[in-house]
Structure formats: C-alpha cells, structure tokens
Chains A and B, each alone.
Chain A
C-alpha cells in the first residue's frame, strides 16, 4: 500500500506527453489512476516516472462529429454517463459505464485508461469491440488509428507502443434499425466482469443485418465472438436462433479460471450472457 519512489510530471499538451514518454522510457502515463495506482501500491508496478495527462485540455470531452462520436481519452465514466449524445446514440456505453466499479471509480477512471490498460475483466473493451470503435494514438512518428478489433492484443497488452499516447476513441454512429445491450456478471468482491457481453445488432426486414458481440472477463483478453456473429448474421433473430448462435460464445476464447469461476464455468456464463445480451439488443432494435 506504499508505492516505491517515482518522479511526477504534469503534461500540458499531447506533444509534451510524447516528449516526456521519450525522455522517461521507464515512465508511465497516469490518467485516472484507478488501475495504475493500486498496482503501484502493491508494488506490482514501479514506474520510475508518472506522466499525468489529467489536465491536457485536448484529451477530455465528447464531440458529435456527424457520423461518429469522438471521446477524448481522459473522459471519465462519469462524463460518459452525463452525456445525452452518448445516451441517445450509444446507450451501450451508458449501460456499461453505469456498472463499472463504484461511484468513486466512475468519477476518476477514464475511457482511455480502460482501453490502454486492457484489463481482461474490464467492461469497456467489450463495448469498444461491439461498437466497432477505433483508437487514435499519437507517438514520435505522428498519429495513427487502430481499430478496436486489433487494439486488444493480450492480457494487459495493447497495440499501443510504450512511447505512444491514446488520444481519442472514435465510435461510429449506428445506422438504421439498431439495438445494443450489455450484460455483466460482476465479481462479488472486485466488481469487475467475471463475464461481460456487449451486443450490437442492426435489423433489416426482420433479419439480422449486422451483429457484433464483444466478450470480456471470460478470456485473457476482450474479443469479438466471431462464431456467434457468423451464426446469427442474416438470420431471423428468433429466441432459438439466438440461443444456438450464443452456444458458440466461448469458441476462440483463451479462458480464464480462478477461485471464483473456473474456465468451464466462465465458458458457460459467456454463452448464457451472450444469449441474454443478444435477446435484449434485438428487443431494443425492434423498439
């Protein structure tokens, strides 16, 4: 509970962040601190320097950019929960942000931090996958954009390189008749997702046009449930069709197991919660 010594820098602009990262190869970006500081207090992380991005003005905020919604990396869960544009277009974000940790965590934790940390039990990575978000990152060589489906690489590992900063998360606005839902089985102690399933569907003429399912908690890293999506795309989303599609939920997951939930149980929960999330998303699409 007492971290090792570190240096502290407060950055004021994105270029300064990049510069500080280059100057301090053993440094770490500090956003809301709600993943990094606990690790430091347990001395599981001992960064030599912290680069605080909390007050970089360009990094915070939610913008409606017409066909997409752009969320700055330091936007907190609380900011997301307060946003009407998010609630109207991307209720999946509101729903999921509402079940992250507790109120203190939601006040401090940032969307960028959640993405960059890639905790296997975090909620937002599943949401980003289901909404087909992309990550704008800035490094010494300039800017690049990484689709969510390529961003989450492994447990606590993303496509970000150590000298890059995540600046924005870009969510395309849903088109047509769409529905979204998040189903979470929260760990009774940590509150993190034992399994969390984010579902997004669009319907066309009573059939499923697009379906994206992001699963977190069950495996070592949040993933799209491609087999589920393939099984449901183009189908009429009857209860039975959803159930048989959801039966594929654990395919392709490298399952986690711990004292609370075994690999087998997590696989089962992934199927149950995929079915529940899809049913609700379809119901929402139908209105």
Chain B
C-alpha cells in the first residue's frame, strides 16, 4: 500500500461528515438518566442592589427540585477566578460571584438558579421568582466610567479603573517633538459578540459514591477548566473529568471559565443528580463574554517622506462588569506588544486603562488584541498617507521591516521570526491590478460613482508561547502543549493531543502529520482531544497555537515512536539501528530494501515483546511536551475593493484579495477555510456587527434579529493566495492560520470605504460603517460646501 506524503495535501475534513449530518456529540446531546434542567435567572438591570429574593412560589411549582440564590452558593463556590494578572499595572480583581449576592452589575448577571425535572418547568419557575431591586445608576462607556462622579461599580476600585498598563520602547516624546508631521486620531474598536454556533452548555454529573465529577462542557481548554473547577469547588483535580470533544465554535468565548458551569457543578454535587444547563441564544448574548470595545487615542510621528518614527497610544478598554479569565491580558500584552506591526517604528509608547462598566464582561475574541493593534496601525497608515499626499501603498512599503533583517526585534521587545512583507504586498497588488484599478476609480469618480480600495498589511503573533513569556506577562498558565502517540498492536495509531480543536480541523491536519511521520494510512490515525480523562494535559486551542505548538509536540512524539520502532526493527533484522532506513511505513536495511519490517509488524513485536533489543521496553507509545523558543509571526496583505451607493450609503463589495503567509501549509483547503471565515468575521466588524447598549445598560442588539452576523450572501467572493516564509521556531516551519483573516480584514474594508468617500473629503469614520453612518457623513460633508 503506497502512502503518499500528506503534508501539503487538501485532504477533506474528517470531522465534517458527523457534524453536517447531525451526528456530532455536542454537550446538549449528552443525555444521562435522571438529569435535571438548570435555568439561571438573570438580572434585567445593569446596576441594582438586590433588596430581597422570594423563591417560595418558584419552589412550589411543578417539577421544581431546588432553587438557589447567591447566598446559598457562597460556601460551595469560591469566586469566579481571573487568571491573567499583568504585573506592575496596579491590578484590582473585583469579587465575581457565580450568582450575585447583593448587587447585580450587568444585564445578565446571575441572580438565582432553578433546577427542575424539565426545561419548561425550570423556565416557568424562574419566571415566578420575585426579586426586589433597588436601582443604582449605571455606566456603560469606559471613558465616562473613569471620570469623577461616574457611578462606581465597586467601593475598592476607584474610578472603575481595574488596571493601568504601560509599555514603551525608544523615546516617543523625542519622536513626536522632532516629527515633520504628527497625525492624531481617536479610533473606536467597537464591541462585538462572538456568537458561536453552539451556545455554552454544561452537563455536570457528580457521583456522590466515588466523589467523582464528570463535566461535559463547551471549552477550548478543558484541562484549564478542570484545574479552575477544582480550585473553586474544592473537588480534587484527580476526581474531575472534563469532556469537551465536539464544540461548536468558540472564537475565544469558550476560553474563559464561567459562572454557569460552576453553578451546574455545585448543584449536581448538592443534589447528587446530573444537571444540564444550556444557554438559549438570548442568554448567550448577555452571559457569554463579548469582545473588543477599545477606544484608542493615537499619535503618529512621521517624516515628510513617509517614514514613521513613532507611535503613541492611550487606550481605554471596556472590561465589562467583572474581570473575565484572560481578559486583562487581551487589551494589554496582546495589543501593546503588536503596535509595531510589520513596520520599523523605533519609538513606541502605549498606556491602557482597563475599565469596569455595567456591561457583559469582555475577553478574547478571535484575534484578541491583535485586531485592535492592526486596526490602529492600518488606519493610521492611511491617515499619514492622506496627510502627506502619498499613496497608501508607498507609505507601508517605506516602513516595512526588510526581509534581510530577520529575526528582527521591534521596539516593543518582540523578536519576529521571519518575514518577507514586500513579497506578499507585491503579490496582492498584482492580483488586484492596482494601477489599473486607480484608473478605473478615476473614471468612475468622473461619473459620480464611488469606488474605493483599502489595504491592510499586517503581522500577527501566533503559536502563543513560550511558557517563560507567559510567566513574565502574568498569564497564570504555561504555553507549551503535549501530545501522546500510542501505537496499538495492530499498528493503528491514537494521538492524544492537548490542543482542543472546535472547528479548526485538526482531526484531519494532525492525522496528516502522523501519517507522514509514521508512514501509516490516514484512516489508521485517530485524533483524541478534549477529554481530560484520556489526555495527559493540555493548554488548549487559542491564539492560533494548536498546530504550531500542539502539532509540533505531536511531531516530536511521533519521531520518538519511529526511533523506538527502528531499534526494534534493527533487532529483528539483526542489523545495527544505524543501518535501518525508514521510508513510508517500512523499516529496511540500508542497501537491502527486501530485508524489511513494516511499521505494523514492528508495532506487533513491540507489544508481544518476545524478542526486544536490550534496554528497550515493551509497548509503543511516546509523549512529548513541547515549549517553543518563540512565537510565530504570520503576515500578509489584504486588499478590499468596494463601491458605495451615494444615495443610500450602502456598500457593495467588488473584490477581496488576501495574500497570507502562514509559513508551510499542511492542508491548503483547511487554511483557505480558516482565512475565509476569518475574513467574514473581520469584514462583519467593519460593516455589520455591533453590540449596542443604551445608557441604562440594556443591550439593544441582544438577538440575531438585531445583531447582524454575516450570511454567505453578505460577503464577497474571496481571492486567496499565499507566499511561504517558513518559521525556524518549530519543526514544520508553520506559523498558524486561525486568526489572520480576522486581524487583517477589518482595516482593509474600512480603508476601502474611506477611500471611496474621498471625493467628499472624508478621512475617517468609526465602525461599523453602516449605510446610515455613511449616508450621514456624506450629508454632513455637503453641508460645509
């Protein structure tokens, strides 16, 4: 049987058939006998004191087993933890109770929990709970929240400021002082709602006999959730099994550790019965973390020739009512470190105020901090170009880090691994036909048609690592990954990975890696993930790290297996291991290819262990923990072409070109899919999606009737291409492809629309660029003239 090289092949996703035929096993599909249905009553007010809660009526309702308030859970559950504690930032972590004890701080804050025999009964009973609230003034805007006299969420967090974080490299004051021009702009990176297809859910099954807890939940990082669940409940880690195998998307929102899952566990433990909790869509809108919500004041220092000499950013990040698990790291490290982008900017200074408001807590959302940084840079590049009368492409080109200078250390201290930014830019320009487009644009403008082109030349940090850096940043976890490769006696292979794919396709790509390393058919490789009962340990899937870090761990484990196999084969063939050649699943003697043992024969021999070489133990299973020496830095150029209808402000997408460099590519089709989905999300931020609160903290965009997730008909056809610049930091030379699309696309789209509006003298508009906002801007521009 011929085994071809799988690395680089567009193998169809093995996980898809079960998912698209409704046979996946999501948390809600877990049906245990005797399961109770949990409904959490949530605050309808953004800020209020709970004067009283009367649960008597609810307790009497049919099917109701128990009702809990915040006070009832204080002893069984420690507060919801925050696990990213940036040092030197005067961080204050307010107490976050699973159910509010005396004060609610956002619409959606948990107030009481009902368990009943079925969901309808629990829902009816929740509606019968009587809560008396004393309204308190609310604040939703992070800048207003820091002002004196603003409503205070916590007595011990003055001015609602949870932290102030700073990072500087070079001398920004000198750069601004000596600049030919200083371009300043306030930029809003508005709030988004991750809206994974599968809302959050949990089935908690505490067995009072064994003291063991099994928790099925929607998690990107089940081992971390196990650790935190142990910490808040006191159940030893050894007695907890977290299973999150089929997860319907996360986009960062399933990294945090949440109250809902904690409540389900506490109640299951209390009652000794399984408890199921499944968010409905409206609950998901308020009870699962939101993303972005950043206001940036930016000053860029530039020379007349377009050279950028410095950038200063003062940012206000809206953290919501509590600090979610990874939240403080997102607007700080993941944002600030990336403020050099693909450019040589010698002087950088950033100050970020993390502000608590009466809104749903924010946390990582696809890209997490890096889209915010890219938006700042790419919007500013266009503004600088505009001010200097230069082509936006030329300003970018002028400031690129040249390919000869890698590895390159930017002013924020990161060391970029490898790059060739001009190559990607040039390829994108070629595909889009840039010069020709500018001519068409001119002709169209003469007819009153508004065509525009926008660029985003980005670099992002991926493959989040190493653990030492995590420690320096106050991240309460490691950033390595583990893999166990277990070869069964038949030669079939099980891989236990600490990564937890939830849509990214690693059940396919990881199998491709193993098929190549061990020379076995793809179908002989099983990828096991998302189960703490089966996998040694894992840090999880986020930050485009699964393949770069988890995949590398897997490569090393597979190589250990292969090497052990070589020793066994050599012994069986009675030659020295140095004389063994391994090729496509066959161990043969150098120069004598007919003296051969197949991988499967060697696996069988390893388990029989009748005839093992000296010092070699039976079995064929290896584990590897991989902690890379550095992150990876994918990059590229995205170009968007639009036409704006001046009568309505409506944007039509004409073209979208993406040239990404993610290093080597295991499965081009899957990477294209990641890029497509990422572009859709980033583009949606630019023009469709926005979470809107009113002044009282009511979420006005709290349903899919108001919150505009894009459908296929709302996005353009993507023209996707790649350049390939391998990274030296992992054995495969690949960088990570999960977030590039989201990071790159938002500014490309905004820049295109602003370019289209140039005839009106418009140089900046804040997102989302809805038809109304564009139409209004056109109206206003004409008032002046």
Query: At the interface, yes or no: A40 with Cβ under 8 Å from chain B?
Result: no
| Cα(A2)–Cα(B692), bound, Å | 25
Contact B282 A260 (CB under 8 A): no
Q: 8 Å CB contacts to B: which residues of A239-287?
A: 259-262, 265, 268-269, 272
Check: A65 CB closer than 8 A to any chain B CB.
Answer: no
Residue B297 at the chain A interface, CB threshold 8 Å: no
What's the least CB distance linking A214 to chain B, in Å?
A: 20
| Residues on B with beta carbons closer than 8 Å to the beta carbon of A268 | 775
A4 interface residue per 8 A CB criterion? yes
- Cβ–Cβ contact B119 & A188, under 8 A: no
CB within 8 A of A1: which of B282, B707, B709, B714? Answer: B282
Residue among A192, A262, A268, A272 having the largest count of chain B Cβ atoms under 10 Å: A268
B490 CB–A CB distance under 8 Å? no
Is the Cβ of B706 less than 8 Å from the Cβ of A189?
yes
A189 touches B120 (CB 8 A): no
- Whether B709 and A260, one on each chain, are in contact in the complex, defined by CB atoms closer than 8 angstroms, is no
Q: List residues of chain A with CB within 8 A of the CB of B771.
A: 185, 261, 265
In the complex, A268 Cα to B770 Cα: how many Å? 15
Beta-carbon contact of A259 and B705 below 8 Å: no
Assuming A188-B688, A259-B692, is B708 touching A5 (CB within 8 A)? no
Closest residue on chain A to residue B707 by CB atoms: A189
Contacts of B776 in A (CB 8 A): 265
Q: Which of B194-220 contact A (CB under 8 A)?
A: none
Evaluate contact between B120 and A2: CB separation under 8 angstroms. Answer: yes
Residue of B nearest to A2 (CB): B123
Number of interface residues of A (CB under 8 A): 20
Q: Is the CB of A261 within 8 A of B123?
A: no
Query: Is B617 an interface residue, CB under 8 A from the partner?
Result: no
**A2-B119 in contact given A189-B704, A189-B707, A260-B770 (Cβ < 8 Å):** yes
Q: How close is A247's CB to chain B, nearest CB, in angstroms? A: 13
Q: Given the complex, which residues of A lie within 8 Å of B281, measured CB to CB?
A: 1
B708 to A42, Cβ gap below 8 A?
no
Whole-angstrom distance between the Cβ of B189 and the nearest chain A Cβ: 18
- Residues of chain B with a CB closer than 8 A to A192's CB: 705
Cα A261 to Cα B773 in complex, Å, equals: 9
Asked if A265 contacts B772 (CB within 8 A), the reply is yes
**Which residues of chain B (108-122) have a CB below 8 Å from chain A?**
119-120
A188 to B705, CA, bound (A): 9
In contact, B706 and A265 (Cβ under 8 angstroms) = no
Question: Roughly how many angstroms separate A169 CA and B141 CA in the complex, as a whole number?
Answer: 50
- Interface size for B (C-beta < 8 A) is 28
Q: Which residues of A contact B280 (CB under 8 A)?
A: 1-2
Interface status of B124 (Cβ within 8 A of chain A): yes
Which residue of B has the minimal Cβ distance to A194?
Answer: B771
Decide: A189 near B709, CB < 8 A? Known: A1-B282, A2-B280, A261-B772: yes
> Is B647 interfacial (CB-CB < 8 Å)?
yes
**With a CB–CB cut-off of 8 A, which chain B residues contact A265?**
771-772, 775-776
- A 178-194 binary contact with B (CB < 8 Å = 1; else 0): 00000001011110100
The secondary structure that dominates the A interface is: loop
Q: Is the CB of B282 within 8 A of A42?
A: yes
A-chain residues with CB within 8 Å of residue B174 when the two chains form the complex: none
User: Does B701 have its Cβ within 8 Å of any Cβ on chain A?
Assistant: yes
Q: Given the complex of chains A and B, what is the CA–CA distance between A104 and B391 in angstroms? A: 47
B775 adjacent to A5 (CB under 8 Å): no
The residue in chain A whose Cβ has the minimal distance to the Cβ of B687 is: A188
Residues 8-39 of chain A: 1 if any B CB is under 8 Å from the residue's CB, otherwise 0? 00000000000000000000000000000000
Cα distance A269–B708 in the bound complex, in angstroms: 19
B648 within 8 Å of A by Cβ?
yes
Chain A 36-66 interface mask (CB, 8 Å, partner B; 1/0): 0000001100000000000000000000000
Chain B min CB distance to A109 (Å): 15
Q: Quick check: B119 and A189 within 8 Å, CB to CB?
A: no
For B282, the chain A residues whose CB sits under 8 A away are 1, 42
CA–CA, A4 to B707, complex, Å?
Answer: 26
Of all chain B residues, the one with the shortest Cβ separation from A43 is B127
B647 — nearest CB in chain A belongs to which residue? A272
- B681-706 interface bits toward A, Cβ cutoff 8 Å, 1 = contact, 0 = none: 00000001000100000001100111
| Nearest chain A CB to B391 CB, angstrom units | 32
A261 CA to B281 CA in the complex, in Å? 24
If A42-B282, A259-B692, A265-B776 touch, whether A188 touches B708 (CB-CB below 8 Å) is: yes
User: How far, in Å, is A267 (CB) from chain B's closest CB?
Assistant: 12
CB of A185 within 8 A of CB of B708, answer no
Q: Which of B613-653 contact A (CB under 8 A)?
A: 647-648, 650
Give Cα A1 to B123, complex, Å: 9
Minimum distance in angstroms from B36 CB to a CB of chain A = 15
Within the complex, the shortest CB–CB distance from B690 to chain A, in Å, comes to 8
**How long is the Cα–Cα vector from A260 to B688 in the complex, in angstroms?**
10
- Out of B120, B692, B700, name the residue touching A5 (CB < 8 Å): B120
Residues of B within 8 A of A43 (CB): 127
A189 near B705 with CB under 8 A, answer yes
- Find chain B residues with CB under 8 A from A188 CB: 688, 708, 710, 714
Closest beta carbon of chain B to A232's beta carbon, Å: 19
A272 contacts which of B120, B648, B770 (Cβ < 8 Å)? B648
- Bound-state CA distance A268–B645 (Å) is 14
| Residue of A1, A185, A192 with highest tally of chain B CB at under 10 A | A1
Interfacial chain A residues near B648, Cβ < 8 Å: 185, 269, 272
CB distance from B226 to the nearest CB of A (A): 30
Name the residue on B nearest A268 (C-beta).
B775
Closest to A261 in B: B772
Q: Select the residue from B647, B688, B701 with max chain A CB neighbours within 10 A.
A: B647
State whether B701 touches A259 (Cβ < 8 A): yes
Q: With a CB–CB cut-off of 8 A, which chain A residues contact B647?
A: 272
* Smallest beta-carbon distance A79→chain B, Å: 24
Which residues from B are CB-within-8-Å of A272? 647-648
Question: Are A259's CB and B123's CB within 8 A?
Answer: no
Which of A2, A188, A269 has the largest number of chain B CB atoms within 10 A?
A188
B772 close to A260 (CB less than 8 A): yes
CB atoms of B692 and A4 under 8 A apart? no
- Which of chain A's residues have a CB closer than 8 A to the CB of B707? 189
In the assembled complex, the CB of B506 is this many whole angstroms from the nearest CB of chain A, namely: 32
Report Cα–Cα, A5/B124, bound state, in Å.
Answer: 9
Report B10 CB to chain A, min CB distance, Å. 30
- Of the candidates B282, B647, B772, the one having the most CB atoms from chain A within 10 angstroms of its own CB is B772
Residues of B within 8 A of A5 (CB): 120, 124
Cα–Cα distance between A259 and B123 once the two chains are bound (Å): 30
**Distance between Cα atoms of A220 and B344 in the complex (Å):** 56
- Interface centre among B119, B123, B709, B714, by most chain A C-beta atoms within 10 angstroms, is B123
**A interface footprint on B742-785 (CB within 8 Å = 1, 0 otherwise):** 00000000000000000000000000001110011000000000
Complex Cα–Cα for A259 and B773 (A) = 11
Q: How far is the CA of A84 from the CA of B705 in the complex (A)?
A: 33
For the complex, what is the distance from the CA of A187 to the CA of B703, rounded to whole Å? 13
CA distance A265 to B280 in the complex (A): 33
A4 — which chain B residues lie within 8 A by C-beta? 124
B705-721 with Cβ < 8 A to chain A: 705-710, 714
Chain B neighbourhood of A259, CB < 8 A: 692, 700-701, 706
Contacts of B775 in A (CB 8 A): 265, 268
Find chain B residues with CB under 8 A from A42 CB: 282
Chain A residues near B709: list those with CB within 8 A: 189
Interface residue ranges, A against B (CB under 8 Å): 1-2, 4-5, 42-43, 185, 187-190, 192, 259-262, 265, 268-269, 272
**A-B pairs, 8 with minimum CB distance:** A1-B280, A188-B708, A189-B708, A190-B705, A2-B123, A265-B772, A259-B692, A272-B647
| Chain B residues at the A interface, C-beta cutoff of 8 Å | 119-120, 123-124, 127, 280-282, 647-648, 650, 688, 692, 700-701, 704-710, 714, 770-772, 775-776
Known: A2-B120, A189-B706, A259-B701; 10 extra A-B contacts, CB below 8 A, are A1-B280, A1-B282, A2-B119, A4-B124, A189-B705, A189-B707, A189-B709, A190-B705, A261-B772, A265-B772
- Ordered by A's residue number, 13 sampled pairs between the chains whose C-beta atoms are within 8 Å are A1-B281, A2-B123, A5-B120, A42-B282, A187-B708, A189-B705, A190-B704, A190-B705, A259-B692, A260-B772, A261-B772, A265-B772, A265-B776
